[in-house]
Structure 1
């Protein structure tokens, strides 16, 4: 079976094709585009499929990043995955960015516990703890630097940091922790390999907090007064 993996939750537009039977990545592409995933994703999928000498009808499963990350990017990836799954009659699964970051960290630091940590801006962090076997040791959360630091001071050296919030954490710790990556998302290979073993419901965005935008009150029409 061939699996198509997508990640548009952060600044990268990433696509890969994994041969599940041989556990080999047949083709992959990761472009740091910042924004504009909706305009670039389909072309990236076409190129990766072409490089793997496959067509979209050869795909038997789809894995996609569900965030947390960019609201628009997450929506683009999830809607694309669900659309392809419906058209192809195949399974689509969602993998959180935090879980994929932990996967990459444990490749570099085998047998270590991981704190996946993403800078969510506005003095907030997306975070999740993972055990030595890669299993979740906490729920994904929105938290702050001040809330995390006391816990990390007590477990110095036990955890590896993975994600764009790692440097923020280490700046405040008396004993800095090992860092696997400071990227805002994981490798596309991580999403592909996690997706190959995951069975679950259709992917849904993992936002963790509300939208960063507010309604433009100046354009709200007042209700006409009753005569």
Structure 2
């Protein structure tokens, strides 16, 4: 199976072409943009396909990160994945950013439980714990820093992600990690299209709120 993986869930914007039978990334492209994902994503898709020596017609499945993360970025990626799936007549699947980060942590410490914590700003954290085999130990959640510390005070395992220092006092703050689009592709190849629909996973409401005073009355 040839998988086209997309990530726009954070500051990074990337695409990869993955051969699941050979378990190898055939081509990838991307950059840490900060903003402008919508303008650059298809450029990176074209570059990844060119590097892989493939065309969109060769793609069997599209995988995309669905969050939690940047509201705007998630919308861009999910919309692109759905559009490509419709145009190609191929399935699209969604992959959680928490699961992607967990798999990266597990690769560095095989067999150990992991807790992924993403700094959601506003004194909140997105988090989810996984056992040593990568099975989720609960649903993804958005908690206050205080509530997260209390819930996971006795966690025995690896704590990682941009919010790790907010949960565990002995961890130094680090810049937000870029999502590894190769892991997105691997997880996307394993996902069940019937249950892993590409739906945004926001966990909380958007930071930007409509200004009622500037609303336009409907005719």
TM-score normalized by the length of structure 2 = 0.92
Runs of 4+ in structure 1 deviating by more than 6 angstroms, as ranges, are: none
| Structure 2 counterpart of 1:35 | 35
Query: Structure 1 residues 222, 182: closer, same or farther in 2, change over 3 A?
Result: closer
- 2 CA distance for matches of 1:150 and 1:126? 14
- 2 CA distance for matches of 1:182 and 1:98? 16
- 2 CA distance for matches of 1:68 and 1:152? 19
- 1 CA distance for matches of 2:56 and 2:90? 11
Larger radius of gyration: 1
Aligned residue for 1:9, secondary structure, equals: coil
Q: CA deviation at 1:95?
A: 0.4
Structure 2 stretches lacking a partner, 5+ long: none
The reply to whether residue 160 of structure 1 matches residue 158 of structure 2 is yes
Q: CA deviation at 1:65?
A: 0.1
| Structure 1 counterpart of 2:57 | 57
- 1 CA distance for matches of 2:201 and 2:55? 29
Number of residue equivalences:
216
Q: CA deviation at 1:12?
A: 0.2
Contact 1:165 1:182 in 2 (8 A): no
Structure 1 stretches lacking a partner, 5+ long: none
| Structure 2 counterpart of 1:183 | 176
Cα RMSD, aligned residues only: 1.9
Contact 2:28 2:47 in 1 (8 A): no
Report 1:43-192 matches (<5 A).
Answer: 43-155=43-155, 158-170=156-168, 173=169, 176=170, 183-192=176-185
| Structure 2 counterpart of 1:208 | 203
CA deviations 1:9-42 (Å, max 9, x no partner) are 0000011110111011111123100011000001
Q: CA deviation at 1:217?
A: 2.7
Query: Structure 1 residues 49, 12: closer, same or farther in 2, change over 3 A?
Result: same
Aligned residue for 2:46, secondary structure, equals: helix
